[in-house]
Structure 1
Amino acid sequence: MMVLANFYWGWLLGAVLLGFAAGWISVVQHGPGLSKNAAMGVGGVTAVLIGLSLARIVPGRFGYWLDLFLVMIATYLVGCGIGAWLRYRVVARQMRGG
């Protein structure tokens, strides 16, 4: 994983910044979200992919791509969380008048 961080640091920074922007914007949009079945499916696929990565079952180039995909998605989601949290804090502060 450190090889990914050292070699793709620019791409990881871009993923965090893109996630931050998406998180900042998405607070304004209030959609219905995923259904329970869809959330279970997404969680199951995520668990399988993480399990494949940790067990090192996928060899070679495809295993490398799987690891890179998981790291990029994780950094994007961290950026989304930070952007949404910061937007909430800024909007809440403006609504309170302080």
Structure 2
Amino acid sequence: MLLLASVAWPGLLAALLIGLGTGFWAGPPAGRLPRLAALLVVILALACLATALAGLVPGREGFRVESAAAMLAAYLAGCGLGGLSRRAQS
């Protein structure tokens, strides 16, 4: 995992910053359907993370799955932080 962080840190940083901007621009989910969609994305991210941690995909493709899981987690964290900062600002 340290190798992943040392190689993919620009992508992780970009995912976090894009998530911050998206979360601030869109704000937190307001209705029932957007909250359900956000929950679905989080469940999908957890499934991707579980696949990466279990090592189900070997080799180069496994590295890509791990990278995608890490970047999706960084993006979702940025979206959450951006939405919270917008809510705090209001």
TM-score range, shorter chain: 0.7 to 0.9
Q: Considering only CA atoms, is the larger Rg found in Structure 1 or Structure 2?
A: 1
The 1:23/1:34 distance shift into structure 2, 3 A limit, reads closer
Equivalent-residue separation in structure 1 for 2:2 and 2:72 (angstroms): 16
Name the counterpart of 1:59: 58
Matched, 1:33 2:34: yes
CA deviations on 1:15-73 (whole Å, 9 max, x unpaired) are 1000000000111874532658x93x973x54543332122121101100000000000
Letter in 2 for 1:72: M
* Bigger share in helix: 2
TM-score w.r.t. the length of structure 2 is 0.79
The 1:80/1:28 distance shift into structure 2, 3 A limit, reads closer
Matched, 1:68 2:76: no
Q: CA RMSD in A?
A: 2.6
Indicate the percent of aligned positions where both proteins have the same amino acid. 32
- Whether contact under 8 Å (2:45, 2:73) holds in the other structure is no
TM-score w.r.t. the length of structure 1 is 0.73
Q: How many residues align?
A: 88
Runs of at least 5 residues in structure 1 that lack an aligned partner in the other structure: 92-98
Equivalent-residue separation in structure 2 for 1:86 and 1:53 (angstroms): 30
Equivalent-residue separation in structure 1 for 2:54 and 2:11 (angstroms): 25
